[in-house]
Amino acid sequence: MTTTVLAAGDHFVLPRLFTEELRAAAPGAALDVREIQLPWPHTPFGKVAEVDEAVGSEDEMIEALRDVRVCVTQMAPLTARVLARCPALELFCVSRGGPVNANLEAATRHGVAVSHAPGRNAVAAAEHTLALLLAAARGIGEVHTDLTHGVWRGDYYDYDNCGIEIDGSVVGLVGFGAIGSRVARALVAMGATVLVHDPYAKPEAVAGIAELVPLDQLLSRSRIVSLHARVTDETRGMIGREQLASMPRGSVLVNCARGALLDYDAVCDALESGRLAGAGFDVYPAEPVPAGARLLSTPGVVLTPHIAGASRQVAHKAARIVAGEVGRFLRGEGLAHCANPEVLGR
Protein backbone atom coordinates (compact mmCIF):
# COMPACT_ATOMS: atom_id res chain seq x y z
CA MET A 1 0.00 0.00 0.00
CA THR A 2 1.30 3.44 -0.90
CA THR A 3 1.57 5.92 1.96
CA THR A 4 1.09 9.58 1.08
CA VAL A 5 3.44 11.87 2.98
CA LEU A 6 3.50 15.66 2.99
CA ALA A 7 6.97 17.18 3.37
CA ALA A 8 6.12 20.74 4.43
CA GLY A 9 9.60 22.24 4.51
CA ASP A 10 10.82 25.81 4.54
CA HIS A 11 14.00 27.71 3.69
CA PHE A 12 15.93 26.09 6.58
CA VAL A 13 14.74 22.48 6.73
CA LEU A 14 14.26 22.17 3.00
CA PRO A 15 11.51 19.96 1.56
CA ARG A 16 14.12 17.91 -0.31
CA LEU A 17 15.95 17.17 2.95
CA PHE A 18 12.77 15.62 4.34
CA THR A 19 12.28 13.61 1.17
CA GLU A 20 15.87 12.35 1.11
CA GLU A 21 15.75 11.28 4.75
CA LEU A 22 12.32 9.66 4.35
CA ARG A 23 13.64 7.50 1.50
CA ALA A 24 16.65 6.53 3.61
CA ALA A 25 14.60 5.77 6.75
CA ALA A 26 12.00 3.65 4.94
CA PRO A 27 13.85 1.81 2.16
CA GLY A 28 11.53 -0.20 -0.01
CA ALA A 29 8.42 1.49 1.36
CA ALA A 30 5.90 2.71 -1.19
CA LEU A 31 5.90 6.44 -0.47
CA ASP A 32 4.14 9.19 -2.36
CA VAL A 33 5.96 12.24 -1.02
CA ARG A 34 4.43 15.61 -1.78
CA GLU A 35 6.56 18.68 -1.14
CA ILE A 36 5.56 22.23 -0.27
CA GLN A 37 7.82 25.06 0.90
CA LEU A 38 6.69 27.43 3.62
CA PRO A 39 8.21 30.94 3.67
CA TRP A 40 10.00 30.82 7.07
CA PRO A 41 12.42 32.43 7.94
CA HIS A 42 11.74 35.03 5.24
CA THR A 43 8.31 35.32 6.87
CA PRO A 44 8.51 35.33 10.70
CA PHE A 45 6.64 32.64 12.58
CA GLY A 46 3.72 33.63 14.76
CA LYS A 47 0.40 32.46 16.13
CA VAL A 48 -1.88 30.62 13.68
CA ALA A 49 -5.35 30.14 15.18
CA GLU A 50 -4.65 28.49 18.55
CA VAL A 51 -1.06 27.30 17.96
CA ASP A 52 2.17 29.22 18.44
CA GLU A 53 5.32 29.70 16.37
CA ALA A 54 3.85 28.51 13.08
CA VAL A 55 3.94 29.61 9.46
CA GLY A 56 1.28 28.98 6.84
CA SER A 57 -2.49 29.29 6.82
CA GLU A 58 -5.03 26.72 7.92
CA ASP A 59 -6.59 26.73 4.44
CA GLU A 60 -3.20 26.06 2.84
CA MET A 61 -2.59 23.11 5.14
CA ILE A 62 -6.09 21.68 4.67
CA GLU A 63 -5.52 21.64 0.93
CA ALA A 64 -1.97 20.25 1.17
CA LEU A 65 -3.02 17.49 3.62
CA ARG A 66 -5.84 16.16 1.46
CA ASP A 67 -5.61 12.32 1.60
CA VAL A 68 -2.22 12.58 3.42
CA ARG A 69 -1.49 9.97 6.08
CA VAL A 70 1.81 11.39 7.41
CA CYS A 71 3.15 14.96 7.57
CA VAL A 72 6.71 16.01 8.36
CA THR A 73 7.34 19.70 8.93
CA GLN A 74 9.08 22.30 10.99
CA MET A 75 6.62 25.20 11.00
CA ALA A 76 3.28 24.12 9.52
CA PRO A 77 0.30 24.62 11.87
CA LEU A 78 -1.72 21.67 13.11
CA THR A 79 -4.89 23.23 14.48
CA ALA A 80 -8.26 21.86 15.53
CA ARG A 81 -9.74 23.07 12.25
CA VAL A 82 -7.01 21.43 10.17
CA LEU A 83 -7.46 18.17 12.05
CA ALA A 84 -11.21 18.20 11.56
CA ARG A 85 -10.78 18.64 7.81
CA CYS A 86 -7.99 16.07 7.32
CA PRO A 87 -9.35 12.69 8.49
CA ALA A 88 -6.67 10.64 6.70
CA LEU A 89 -3.87 12.11 8.82
CA GLU A 90 -2.38 9.67 11.36
CA LEU A 91 1.10 11.04 12.14
CA PHE A 92 2.34 14.64 12.35
CA CYS A 93 6.09 15.01 12.87
CA VAL A 94 7.55 18.36 13.95
CA SER A 95 11.28 18.66 13.34
CA ARG A 96 11.82 20.91 16.35
CA GLY A 97 12.67 20.39 19.99
CA GLY A 98 8.99 20.63 20.89
CA PRO A 99 5.72 20.50 18.91
CA VAL A 100 4.68 24.08 19.69
CA ASN A 101 2.95 24.45 16.33
CA ALA A 102 0.60 21.52 17.00
CA ASN A 103 -2.60 21.45 19.05
CA LEU A 104 -1.81 18.31 21.06
CA GLU A 105 -5.20 18.09 22.73
CA ALA A 106 -7.06 18.23 19.41
CA ALA A 107 -4.59 15.83 17.79
CA THR A 108 -5.18 13.33 20.59
CA ARG A 109 -8.95 13.62 20.18
CA HIS A 110 -8.60 12.91 16.47
CA GLY A 111 -6.21 9.99 17.04
CA VAL A 112 -3.25 11.71 15.38
CA ALA A 113 0.17 10.96 16.88
CA VAL A 114 2.45 14.02 17.15
CA SER A 115 6.19 13.50 17.23
CA HIS A 116 9.07 15.94 17.55
CA ALA A 117 12.89 16.12 17.36
CA PRO A 118 14.50 16.74 20.76
CA GLY A 119 18.19 17.51 20.71
CA ARG A 120 18.34 18.40 17.04
CA ASN A 121 20.20 21.65 17.67
CA ALA A 122 22.04 20.81 20.88
CA VAL A 123 25.51 20.89 19.32
CA ALA A 124 24.87 24.09 17.36
CA ALA A 125 23.37 25.88 20.36
CA ALA A 126 26.22 24.78 22.64
CA GLU A 127 28.81 26.04 20.16
CA HIS A 128 26.97 29.34 19.73
CA THR A 129 26.81 29.72 23.51
CA LEU A 130 30.57 29.32 23.72
CA ALA A 131 31.04 31.85 20.93
CA LEU A 132 28.91 34.45 22.74
CA LEU A 133 30.52 33.62 26.07
CA LEU A 134 34.01 34.18 24.70
CA ALA A 135 32.98 37.33 22.82
CA ALA A 136 31.33 38.82 25.90
CA ALA A 137 34.18 37.87 28.22
CA ARG A 138 36.75 39.56 25.96
CA GLY A 139 34.67 42.53 24.77
CA ILE A 140 34.86 41.44 21.14
CA GLY A 141 31.58 43.08 20.17
CA GLU A 142 32.66 46.53 21.24
CA VAL A 143 36.16 46.36 19.76
CA HIS A 144 34.72 45.11 16.48
CA THR A 145 32.35 48.09 16.38
CA ASP A 146 35.20 50.48 17.19
CA LEU A 147 37.36 49.13 14.38
CA THR A 148 34.59 49.27 11.80
CA HIS A 149 34.20 52.95 12.73
CA GLY A 150 37.92 53.59 12.27
CA VAL A 151 38.77 53.72 15.96
CA TRP A 152 41.84 51.84 17.24
CA ARG A 153 41.36 51.42 21.00
CA GLY A 154 44.73 50.72 22.56
CA ASP A 155 43.23 51.50 25.96
CA TYR A 156 41.68 48.03 26.00
CA TYR A 157 45.06 47.05 27.45
CA ASP A 158 44.27 49.14 30.53
CA TYR A 159 43.85 46.72 33.41
CA ASP A 160 40.29 47.84 34.15
CA ASN A 161 39.30 47.35 30.51
CA CYS A 162 40.82 43.90 30.03
CA GLY A 163 38.59 40.86 29.61
CA ILE A 164 38.76 37.59 31.50
CA GLU A 165 40.00 34.14 30.54
CA ILE A 166 37.97 30.96 30.75
CA ASP A 167 40.94 29.04 32.11
CA GLY A 168 40.80 29.30 35.90
CA SER A 169 37.40 31.02 35.97
CA VAL A 170 34.30 29.72 37.74
CA VAL A 171 31.46 29.37 35.24
CA GLY A 172 27.89 28.73 36.36
CA LEU A 173 25.39 26.96 34.11
CA VAL A 174 21.68 27.17 34.89
CA GLY A 175 20.45 23.96 33.29
CA PHE A 176 22.29 20.73 32.45
CA GLY A 177 20.29 19.28 29.59
CA ALA A 178 21.49 18.39 26.11
CA ILE A 179 22.92 21.88 25.54
CA GLY A 180 24.14 22.77 29.02
CA SER A 181 25.98 19.49 29.45
CA ARG A 182 27.86 20.01 26.18
CA VAL A 183 28.81 23.54 27.21
CA ALA A 184 30.02 22.19 30.56
CA ARG A 185 32.31 19.60 28.98
CA ALA A 186 33.81 22.20 26.64
CA LEU A 187 34.42 24.63 29.50
CA VAL A 188 36.11 21.96 31.61
CA ALA A 189 38.40 21.20 28.66
CA MET A 190 39.27 24.92 28.58
CA GLY A 191 40.26 24.88 32.26
CA ALA A 192 37.14 26.31 33.90
CA THR A 193 35.58 25.21 37.15
CA VAL A 194 31.92 24.58 36.35
CA LEU A 195 28.97 24.94 38.71
CA VAL A 196 25.50 23.71 37.74
CA HIS A 197 22.05 24.52 39.04
CA ASP A 198 19.43 22.09 37.74
CA PRO A 199 16.82 20.49 40.03
CA TYR A 200 16.32 17.69 37.49
CA ALA A 201 19.97 16.82 36.85
CA LYS A 202 21.09 13.47 38.24
CA PRO A 203 24.21 13.72 40.41
CA GLU A 204 25.84 10.84 38.57
CA ALA A 205 25.41 12.69 35.24
CA VAL A 206 27.19 15.74 36.61
CA ALA A 207 29.90 13.90 38.56
CA GLY A 208 33.40 14.52 37.28
CA ILE A 209 32.24 17.47 35.17
CA ALA A 210 30.66 20.02 37.47
CA GLU A 211 29.41 20.71 40.98
CA LEU A 212 25.66 20.80 41.60
CA VAL A 213 24.74 23.84 43.69
CA PRO A 214 21.69 25.94 44.61
CA LEU A 215 21.04 28.95 42.37
CA ASP A 216 22.11 31.52 44.96
CA GLN A 217 25.48 29.80 45.38
CA LEU A 218 25.97 29.57 41.63
CA LEU A 219 25.34 33.28 41.17
CA SER A 220 27.55 34.40 44.06
CA ARG A 221 30.50 32.19 43.09
CA SER A 222 30.49 32.43 39.27
CA ARG A 223 32.37 35.01 37.24
CA ILE A 224 30.47 33.87 34.16
CA VAL A 225 26.85 32.63 34.11
CA SER A 226 25.09 31.01 31.15
CA LEU A 227 21.38 30.14 31.04
CA HIS A 228 20.18 26.81 29.64
CA ALA A 229 16.84 26.26 31.37
CA ARG A 230 13.43 25.72 29.81
CA VAL A 231 10.72 28.28 30.45
CA THR A 232 8.27 27.01 33.07
CA ASP A 233 6.23 28.64 35.81
CA GLU A 234 9.24 28.10 38.10
CA THR A 235 11.90 29.50 35.75
CA ARG A 236 10.09 32.44 34.15
CA GLY A 237 11.90 35.60 35.24
CA MET A 238 14.28 33.56 37.41
CA ILE A 239 17.14 36.05 36.91
CA GLY A 240 16.11 39.55 37.97
CA ARG A 241 17.55 42.50 39.89
CA GLU A 242 18.08 40.60 43.13
CA GLN A 243 19.89 37.74 41.39
CA LEU A 244 22.07 40.07 39.29
CA ALA A 245 23.01 42.04 42.41
CA SER A 246 24.33 38.85 44.01
CA MET A 247 26.82 38.22 41.18
CA PRO A 248 30.45 39.36 41.60
CA ARG A 249 31.14 42.79 40.20
CA GLY A 250 32.51 42.54 36.66
CA SER A 251 30.71 39.28 35.83
CA VAL A 252 29.53 38.10 32.42
CA LEU A 253 26.03 36.81 31.61
CA VAL A 254 24.99 34.76 28.56
CA ASN A 255 21.52 33.67 27.46
CA CYS A 256 20.96 31.41 24.44
CA ALA A 257 17.94 29.68 26.01
CA ARG A 258 14.77 31.79 26.23
CA GLY A 259 14.21 35.49 26.75
CA ALA A 260 11.53 34.91 29.38
CA LEU A 261 14.14 33.63 31.86
CA LEU A 262 15.67 37.04 32.32
CA ASP A 263 14.77 40.64 33.26
CA TYR A 264 16.53 42.51 30.44
CA ASP A 265 15.89 45.95 31.88
CA ALA A 266 17.68 44.85 35.04
CA VAL A 267 20.52 43.54 32.87
CA CYS A 268 20.91 46.96 31.23
CA ASP A 269 21.11 48.57 34.67
CA ALA A 270 23.72 46.01 35.75
CA LEU A 271 25.83 46.66 32.66
CA GLU A 272 25.65 50.42 33.06
CA SER A 273 26.59 50.21 36.74
CA GLY A 274 29.49 47.84 36.12
CA ARG A 275 27.93 44.98 38.06
CA LEU A 276 28.12 43.12 34.74
CA ALA A 277 31.20 43.64 32.57
CA GLY A 278 29.64 42.01 29.54
CA ALA A 279 26.71 40.00 28.24
CA GLY A 280 25.89 37.88 25.23
CA PHE A 281 22.32 37.27 24.10
CA ASP A 282 20.67 35.29 21.33
CA VAL A 283 17.12 35.42 22.74
CA TYR A 284 14.92 38.32 23.87
CA PRO A 285 11.60 39.10 25.54
CA ALA A 286 10.24 40.34 22.18
CA GLU A 287 11.50 39.08 18.83
CA PRO A 288 12.48 40.80 16.62
CA VAL A 289 13.99 43.22 19.14
CA PRO A 290 12.06 46.50 18.76
CA ALA A 291 13.92 49.43 17.24
CA GLY A 292 15.02 51.73 20.00
CA ALA A 293 15.10 48.99 22.63
CA ARG A 294 17.42 49.92 25.46
CA LEU A 295 19.46 46.74 25.02
CA LEU A 296 20.58 47.86 21.56
CA SER A 297 22.44 50.86 22.95
CA THR A 298 23.72 49.41 26.22
CA PRO A 299 27.53 49.01 26.30
CA GLY A 300 29.21 45.65 26.71
CA VAL A 301 26.60 43.54 24.93
CA VAL A 302 27.10 41.07 22.08
CA LEU A 303 23.82 40.30 20.30
CA THR A 304 22.73 37.73 17.72
CA PRO A 305 19.20 37.34 16.28
CA HIS A 306 18.09 33.96 17.73
CA ILE A 307 20.39 31.95 15.45
CA ALA A 308 22.06 29.60 17.95
CA GLY A 309 20.35 26.65 16.28
CA ALA A 310 21.13 27.75 12.73
CA SER A 311 23.61 25.34 11.17
CA ARG A 312 23.35 23.19 8.09
CA GLN A 313 23.91 20.12 10.24
CA VAL A 314 20.85 21.01 12.32
CA ALA A 315 18.66 21.07 9.21
CA HIS A 316 19.87 17.60 8.24
CA LYS A 317 19.54 16.23 11.80
CA ALA A 318 16.02 17.63 12.11
CA ALA A 319 14.91 15.93 8.91
CA ARG A 320 16.68 12.69 9.89
CA ILE A 321 15.07 12.48 13.33
CA VAL A 322 11.50 12.87 12.09
CA ALA A 323 12.14 10.60 9.10
CA GLY A 324 13.23 7.98 11.59
CA GLU A 325 9.89 8.35 13.34
CA VAL A 326 8.08 7.85 10.05
CA GLY A 327 10.13 4.71 9.38
CA ARG A 328 9.20 3.30 12.79
CA PHE A 329 5.56 4.20 12.25
CA LEU A 330 5.44 2.42 8.90
CA ARG A 331 7.07 -0.68 10.38
CA GLY A 332 4.58 -0.74 13.24
CA GLU A 333 7.21 0.05 15.85
CA GLY A 334 6.88 2.43 18.78
CA LEU A 335 7.78 6.06 18.24
CA ALA A 336 10.85 7.42 20.00
CA HIS A 337 9.66 11.00 20.50
CA CYS A 338 5.87 10.97 20.61
CA ALA A 339 4.32 13.91 22.49
CA ASN A 340 0.93 12.17 22.93
CA PRO A 341 1.79 8.47 23.33
CA GLU A 342 -1.72 7.64 24.53
CA VAL A 343 -2.76 7.74 20.87
CA LEU A 344 -0.43 4.86 20.02
CA GLY A 345 -2.29 2.44 22.25
CA ARG A 346 -5.57 2.84 20.44
For residues 319 and 180, state if they share a domain: no
pLDDT of residue 1: 86
What end-to-end distance do the CA atoms of the chain give, in Å? 21
Percent of the residues in the chain that have a pLDDT greater than 70, as a whole number? 100
**pLDDT at 5 exceeding the cut of 90:** yes
User: What is the average per-residue pLDDT within 324-335?
Assistant: 96
Cα–Cα dist 346/337, whole Å: 17
Q: How confident is the model at residue 196 (pLDDT cuts 50, 70, 90)?
A: very high
pTM: 0.92
Catalytic residue chosen out of the listed positions 105, 287, 294, 331: 287
Average pLDDT, the chain: 96
For residues 69 and 201, state if they share a domain: no
CA 249 to chain centre: 29
For residues 149 and 259, state if they share a domain: yes
306 is catalytic: yes
258 is catalytic: yes
Q: How confident is the model at residue 154 (pLDDT cuts 50, 70, 90)?
A: confident
CATH number of domain containing 330: 3.40.50.720
Catalytic residue chosen out of the listed positions 128, 258, 320, 328: 258
Number of domains in the chain: 2
For residues 27 and 126, state if they share a domain: no
For residues 273 and 155, state if they share a domain: yes
Contact 73, 89 (CB under 8 A): no
pLDDT of residue 345: 76
For residues 143 and 284, state if they share a domain: yes
- Looking only at the bridges linking them, the beta strands covering 276-281 and 211-212 are unpaired
For residues 194 and 315, state if they share a domain: no
pLDDT of residue 344: 87
For residues 239 and 262, state if they share a domain: yes
138 is catalytic: no
Q: Please give the residue range of the domain that contains residue 111.
A: 3-120+311-345
For residues 291 and 318, state if they share a domain: no
pLDDT of residue 219: 98
- Looking only at the bridges linking them, the beta strands covering 301-303 and 170-174 are unpaired
For residue range 7-61, what is the model confidence (pLDDT) as tens digits?
999 999 999 999 999 999 999 899 999 999 999 999 999 999 999 999 999 999 9
Cα–Cα dist 64/275, whole Å: 54
Cα–Cα dist 124/106, whole Å: 33
For residues 157 and 267, state if they share a domain: yes
DSSP per residue over 175-241, as a string?
A: --SHHHHHHHHHHHHTT-EEEEE-TT--HHHHTTT-EE--HHHHHHH-SEEEE-PPP-TTTTT-B-H
- Looking only at the bridges linking them, the beta strands covering 46-48 and 51-54 are antiparallel
User: What is the average per-residue pLDDT within 137-144?
Assistant: 94
For residues 197 and 81, state if they share a domain: no
For residues 160 and 272, state if they share a domain: yes
pLDDT of residue 33: 98
